[in-house]
Structure 1
């Protein structure tokens, strides 16, 4: 009887760790991009709603722009601090896990560790980019009605873009995601504008 000998292929551990590190880097890049889109969307919706809410009470363009700029600075700082604390906590957990692993795996995974400073800067910049859309849209318009309309239109266009890009990164249906983000932004703007109108009329 003929005997069949099985040949076992052994893959060097260094190649396994390199492939694992590359997979982790790709995953981290995807998460960074999605986080940036979410941060920009957050800045866009919150600052647009803030400016429209102020516009419902005061027609002075300076009041809208100053409130929007103050919201941009406060929101960017808040996002940076929150992201720094969150990622630092995650870093502590991953470092503790690496210490429990073997030295070889630790060396392979060091490059994939999150950076709290980079995360804070990215989150702050993403929020600022989104918040800049309504500020730039309102900055050069003196007419009250036109200013409100332009801010809402610019924010709607940016919301649709952010929603579609986020869906592409997450491999989700683009149209559905874009519409969902757009409706959510419209709801936030409408609620803020309506409540501030009620406040101005003295009903709240």
Structure 2
């Protein structure tokens, strides 16, 4: 009898530990999936603002050495991009809300499910703010540098660091591979700035 008791106790404990691990694993997966939507929107908005405005500034910097022209171009891109992001997100989320609201009405669901519907105004505001936070980086990097070549180099370096930071943040919070995430976002940003700079330089030199 004593031997049987000695054998059965650890088996029971092992099963309990496995069950706890499964619960913890399920909760962790649920948390990360819930993070997905807002994390994607925040990182995408900030990255879009960073790359779009930096590319605009690099493009104008390819044909003009005036810091004022770069700053005005970047600021115009910040305002236009933030408005575009906000409007696009508002329309998209409102359409999603209409679809979900209609489904709730068909199912005669309770008020708690109606309160859980996505908020278009919050989504639009979050997208606009995220875009502006990203767009302000190249503007601040170029604002206080008089030398044209140094200014372009500082913008590229600052934007590169910010891209790595955004890639690292998204990967850590989403539990994705950090190196791959940083590499993808960094190369994409370099390509956008390089293509914009090169094409604008070519068009400007061709006299078009």
| TM-score calculated relative to the size of structure 1 | 0.83
Q: 1:165 aligns with which of 166, 169, 172?
A: 169
Query: Residue by residue, what CA displacement relative to the aligned partner does 1:18-54 show, whole Å, maximum 9, x if unpaired?
Result: xxxxx99985554112211110000000000000100
8 Å contact kept, 2:35–2:174: no
- Measure, in 2, the Cα distance between the counterparts of 1:185 and 1:174: 17
Q: Please name the residue that 1:134 is paired with.
A: 138
Q: Which stretch has the larger CA shift, 112-121 or 159-168? A: 159-168
Shift of 1:199: 1.2
Counterpart for residue 103 of structure 2: 97
How many equivalent pairs are there? 180
Please give the per-residue CA displacement for 1:102-132, whole angstroms capped at 9, x wherever unaligned.
Answer: 43xx333233210000000000000000000
Flag the 1:33–1:64 CA change in 2: closer, same or farther, 3 A. Answer: same
Selected match of 1:81 from 68, 87, 95: 87
Unaligned runs of 5+ in 1: 1-22
Alignment correspondent of 2:45: 39
Where does residue 68 of structure 1 map in the other structure? 74
Indicate yes or no: 2:163 matched with 1:181. Answer: no
| Partner Cα separation in structure 1 for residue 34 and residue 146 of structure 2 | 44
Q: Does 1:151 align with 2:155?
A: yes
Q: Aligned match of 2:205 in 196, 201, 204?
A: 201
Paired with 1:132 and 1:101, the residues of 2 have a C-alpha distance of: 46
8 Å CA contact 1:34, 1:169 repeated in 2: no
Q: Distance in 1 between matches of 2:178 and 2:33?
A: 20
Displacement of 1:164 in angstroms is: 1.5
Higher helix share goes to which structure?
A: 2
How far apart, in 1, do the equivalents of 2:46 and 2:32 lie?
Answer: 21
Native 8 Å contact 2:32 2:174 kept in 1: no
Three-state SS of the structure 2 residue aligned to 1:141 is coil
TM-score, reference length from structure 2: 0.81
Residues 30 and 169 in structure 1, CA contact (< 8 A), matched pair in contact too: no
Alignment of 1:106-121 (within 5 A): 106-121=110-125
What are the Cα deviations for residues 147-175 of structure 1, in whole angstroms up to 9, with x where unaligned? 00111111000001111112223322111
Cα 1:102–1:89 change in 2 (3 A) is: same
Query: Is the alpha carbon distance of 1:92 and 1:121 closer, same or farther for their aligned partners in structure 2, counting shifts above 3 Å?
Result: same
